[in-house]
């Protein structure tokens, strides 16, 4: 007789079995429930607690088919995260966001839906946590410091960080169910990123627990050995520490200083880190006794320092005044080391009650304090008030809503953090663009930049970057530095590199133009630069104020020296019988477009390929191209005809050229948009538009156009003539 087939285990039955198995483990805590959570929320109003209950119900429904590796339903995790924040007396919106923090990622719920259900502030926090989760999965392990800063910079609302930190803390508390490889990876991430962020924000209790849990998960054997050694050493230390503490208390009382003396026991990870970084044995670390003295006023801190220095001999060079000069996270205290009774080393921290509260529980970012108590920026004052309010709320039950707006702080207001294509993080100032990024990577990358991708999409080189974006620079060997970059690059490195490149670029462009102009001037003598023996012409270089050929060519290209004058002197020195009058002729200068900084186009007439052109050399501007009939050229002809140099367009030209149109139109609504649309439809560009009112019925519009050649300009003009409001148009050539 065959037995009936055994049914396949369901997902739920699998996790129920896993729960029973994990119940035997000592490191799996009882799951958090809505009842335990609401019991911790007594400091909130009934209405706020009801909103938290509604968020819990919503999250439970969204996660109803999901389970944790501990065997518990998934909702127990966000409930535990909310409980951690409730113990810190965070506001009801933060607790609601903690309950909902995985809903966007793990279900079909959108940010907009959360906003409709629970309000925009809650939706913003949940969305911020989701974005941080993506950042934390990046390949940035080697740049922990920048990583921490970027995570903080991305969270405009500090509550986002708080939810993310509480999420990691609960995950660390239940890390025992993960595989050894996962435990090590998560623990390393916790020690590298999360614990330092907690330290940067001044949340000492959270930082310590994250470090202890991370240390035990990453190095379980080392943690166990140190733990056993601490317990073994604790026995004979207690009596001596009590004796030292009572001696300090009695001395302070005699001087009329109200103070409490606490003995401090080192944490396992702190002991391990000191042993490793300071190359000390366990006994050397444990031989140092730690005490914290808490007083009422700042001046009492310094009086207390005098008392303990009188009581025990101080160790030279071991005094630190973090009250006058706080640490980056706002931590304040006096630190001193002493030789105690029986020769026992003593480390003492002296601080006020407020400093102690900030050190243990506060959220004090690096922007919070300066060297002293005055002259704070407005956002720093708000942050300081906010921290004080939060600390007060942690000590007393109350309504935290009055300072919620102050929570919305940008912790790094002057910096942005972006990814390279390899996942490295670059720190840039606020307002930086891809050009700044390119030069931050390498000067050659900046000098050869032609385009960029931001978050894998093509973007303008002038676009301001935001924290968390990935930036890729597209380069070309033939690329040239653009002078316009100076108008939007903000870093000194980029701006100085651009100026240097432009200087070299202008120099090389000037040399190339000078070579072209000098060869043209030498043409009527049936010779060229290559035919001259410059070893015999050093005297001419000295006479012209240059040292070498390239200096001479650059001077000609920059307009500092006329080509025919240099040619005349060179030919005369090379051949005493040379007739100087034959030098002025020569073929026209060929213009391609895009030659560089020393070929310019007259803005008065706006020449484009197809126009009959001439040019002249102007100091500082190089070779300036004009239409042959330009009034400015006629003026130069009258003054010095020999300065006019014939020019021609090459058979193929590059780029777009700026010219102007004058358009008379009947005044009507939307005419500017209509004209701009016609220009765009003709594949031309609009550089500028100016409107000059003639009378109540007719307006004159001056349009700066970017076109490829005369035929392109003609197409644009035909399209504009077809606009019904256009009465007449003409090209401006003066």
Same domain for 581 and 719, yes or no, is no
Give CA–CA dist 548/257, Å, rounded: 82
Q: With the CA atoms of 252, 257, 260 and 263 taken in that order, what torsion angle do they form, in degrees rounded to the nearest 10?
A: -30
Tabulate helix, strand, coil % of the chain (nearest 5): 50, 15, 30
Same domain for 596 and 666, yes or no, is no
Q: How confident is the model at residue 26 (pLDDT cuts 50, 70, 90)?
A: very low
Query: What's the number of domains the chain is made of?
Result: 5
Same domain for 166 and 111, yes or no, is yes
Does residue 324 lie in a domain region? yes
- Of the CA atoms within 13 Å of residue 531, those in its CB half-sphere come to 13
pLDDT in tens, 697-733: 888 999 999 999 999 999 999 999 999 899 989 998 7
For residue 338, what are its two tokens?
Answer: 């002493």
Does residue 409 lie in a domain region? no
| Contact indicator for 146, 415 with CB cutoff of 8 Å | no
Q: CATH no. for residue 314?
A: 3.30.460.10
Give CA–CA dist 238/241, Å, rounded: 5
- Cβ count near 171 (within 10 Å): 18
Mean pLDDT is lowest, of 193-207, 379-393, 637-651, 682-696, for: 379-393
- Cβ count near 642 (within 10 Å): 11
Same domain for 530 and 460, yes or no, is no
Known catalytic membership, residue 106: yes
Give CA–CA dist 67/19, Å, rounded: 10
Same domain for 247 and 305, yes or no, is yes
Q: What is the pTM of this model?
A: 0.49
Residue 191 gets the label, from left (phi > 0), alpha (psi -120 to 50) or beta, of alpha
Does residue 398 lie in a domain region? no
pLDDT score, position 1: 39
Q: Which of 105, 296, 377, 543 is catalytic?
A: 105
Distance of CA 251 to the CA centre of its chain: 52
- The enclosing H or E element of 186 equals helix 180-189
Same domain for 483 and 515, yes or no, is no
Does residue 714 lie in a domain region? yes
pLDDT score, position 409: 34
Q: Which of 570, 574, 515, 563 is nearest to 540 (CA)?
A: 570
Write the CB contacts of 525 (distance below 8 Å, at least 6 apart in sequence): 567, 571, 578, 582, 583
Mean pLDDT is lowest, of 15-29, 43-57, 73-87, 129-143, for: 15-29
Same domain for 456 and 524, yes or no, is no
Give CA–CA dist 5/600, Å, rounded: 89
Same domain for 613 and 540, yes or no, is yes
Say yes or no to pLDDT of 505 above 80: no
Does residue 498 lie in a domain region? no
| Contact indicator for 81, 133 with CB cutoff of 8 Å | no
Q: Which of 27, 106, 243, 402 is catalytic?
A: 106
Range of the domain at 673: 657-732
- What mean pLDDT do residues 250-257 have? 92
- What mean pLDDT do residues 27-31 have? 61
Same domain for 321 and 255, yes or no, is yes
Give CA–CA dist 561/618, Å, rounded: 9
Please say which residue of 171, 203, 235 terminates a domain: 203
pLDDT score, position 597: 61
Angle at CA 628, nearest 5°, toward 626 and 629?
A: 105
Q: CATH no. for residue 463?
A: 3.10.20.30
Residue with tokens 């220009």: 679
Same domain for 189 and 338, yes or no, is no
pLDDT score, position 620: 63
Does residue 632 lie in a domain region? yes
Q: CATH no. for residue 136?
A: 1.10.3210.10
pLDDT in tens, 608-623: 999 999 888 777 667 8
Same domain for 270 and 322, yes or no, is yes
Does residue 388 lie in a domain region? no
Residues forming a β-bridge with 1: none
Same domain for 670 and 638, yes or no, is no
Top pLDDT among 460 and 144 is at 460
Length reported for the chain: 734
| Contact indicator for 81, 167 with CB cutoff of 8 Å | yes
């Amino acid at each position: 007789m065959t037995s009936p087939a055994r049914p396949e285990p369901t997902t739920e039955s699998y996790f129920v079995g896993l729960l029973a198995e994990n119940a035997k483990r000592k490191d799996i805590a009882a799951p958090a429930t809505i009842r335990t959570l609401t019991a911790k929320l007594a400091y909130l109003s009934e209405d706020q607690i009801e909103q938290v209950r509604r968020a819990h119900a919503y999250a439970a429904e969204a996660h109803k088919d999901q389970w944790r590796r501990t065997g518990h339903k998934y909702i127990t995790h966000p409930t535990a995260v909310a409980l951690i924040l409730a113990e810190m007396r965070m506001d009801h919106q933060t607790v609601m966001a903690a309950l909902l923090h995985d809903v966007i990622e793990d279900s079909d719920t959108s940010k907009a839906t959360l906003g409709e259900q629970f309000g925009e502030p809650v939706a913003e926090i949940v969305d911020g946590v989701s974005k941080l989760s993506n950042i934390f999965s990046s390949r940035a392990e080697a740049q922990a410091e920048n990583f921490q800063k970027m995570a903080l910079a991305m969270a405009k609302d500090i509550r986002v960080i708080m939810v993310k930190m509480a999420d990691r803390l609960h995950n660390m508390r239940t890390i025992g169910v993960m595989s050894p490889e996962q435990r090590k990876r998560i623990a390393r991430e916790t020690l590298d990123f999360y614990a330092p962020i907690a330290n940067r924000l001044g949340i000492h209790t959270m930082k310590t627990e994250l470090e202890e849990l991370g240390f035990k998960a990453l190095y379980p054997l080392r943690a166990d050995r140190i733990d056993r050694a601490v317990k073994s050493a604790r026995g004979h230390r207690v009596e001596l520490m009590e004796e030292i503490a009572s001696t300090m208390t009695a001395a302070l009382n005699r001087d009329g200083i109200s103070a409490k003396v606490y003995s401090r026991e080192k944490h396992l990870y702190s002991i391990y880190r000191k042993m490793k970084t300071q190359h000390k044995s366990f006994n050397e670390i444990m031989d140092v006794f730690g005490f914290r003295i808490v007083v009422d006023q700042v001046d009492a801190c310094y009086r207390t320092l005098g008392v303990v220095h009188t009581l025990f001999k101080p160790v030279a060079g071991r005094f630190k005044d973090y009250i006058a000069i706080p640490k980056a996270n706002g931590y304040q205290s006096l630190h001193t080391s002493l030789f105690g009774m029986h020769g026992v080393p003593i480390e003492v921290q002296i601080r006020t009650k407020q400093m102690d509260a900030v050190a243990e529980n506060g959220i004090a970012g690096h922007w919070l304090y300066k060297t002293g108590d005055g002259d704070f920026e407005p956002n720093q004052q708000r942050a300081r008030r906010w921290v004080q309010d939060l600390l007060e709320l942690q000590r007393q039950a109350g309504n935290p809503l009055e300072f919620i707006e102050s929570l919305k702080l940008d912790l790094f207001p002057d910096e942005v953090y972006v990814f390279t294509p390899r996942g490295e993080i670059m720190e840039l100032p606020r307002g930086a663009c891809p050009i700044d990024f390119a030069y931050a990577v390498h000067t050659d990358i900046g000098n050869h930049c032609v385009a960029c991708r931001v978050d894998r999409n093509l973007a303008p080189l002038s676009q301001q970057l935001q924290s968390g974006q990935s930036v890729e620079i597209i380069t070309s060997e033939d690329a040239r530095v653009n002078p316009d970059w100076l108008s939007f690059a903000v870093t000194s490195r980029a701006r100085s590199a651009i100026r240097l490149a432009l200087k070299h670029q202008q120099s090389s462009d000037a040399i190339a133009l000078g070579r072209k102009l000098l060869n043209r001037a030498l043409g009527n003598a049936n010779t060229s630069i290559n035919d001259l023996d410059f070893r015999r012409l050093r005297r001419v270089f000295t006479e012209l104020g240059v040292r070498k050929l390239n200096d001479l060519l650059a001077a000609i290209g920059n307009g500092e020296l006329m080509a025919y004058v240099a040619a005349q002197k060179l030919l005369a020195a090379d051949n005493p019988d040379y007739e100087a009058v034959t030098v002025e002729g020569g073929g026209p200068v060929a213009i391609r477009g895009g030659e560089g900084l020393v070929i310019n186009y007259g803005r008065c007439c706006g020449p484009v390929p197809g126009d009959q052109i001439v040019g002249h050399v102007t100091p500082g501007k190089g070779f300036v191209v004009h239409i042959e009939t330009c009034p400015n050229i006629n003026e130069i002809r009258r003054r010095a005809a020999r300065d006019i140099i014939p020019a021609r367009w090459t058979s193929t030209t590059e780029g777009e050229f700026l010219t102007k149109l004058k358009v008379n139109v009947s005044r009507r609504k939307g005419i500017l948009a209509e004209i701009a649309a016609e220009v765009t439809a003709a594949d031309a560009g609009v550089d500028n538009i100016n409107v000059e009112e003639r009378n109540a019925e007719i307006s004159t519009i001056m349009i700066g156009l970017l076109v490829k050649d005369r035929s392109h300009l003609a197409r644009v003009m035909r399209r504009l003539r077809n606009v019904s409001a256009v009465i007449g148009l003409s090209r401006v050539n003066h």
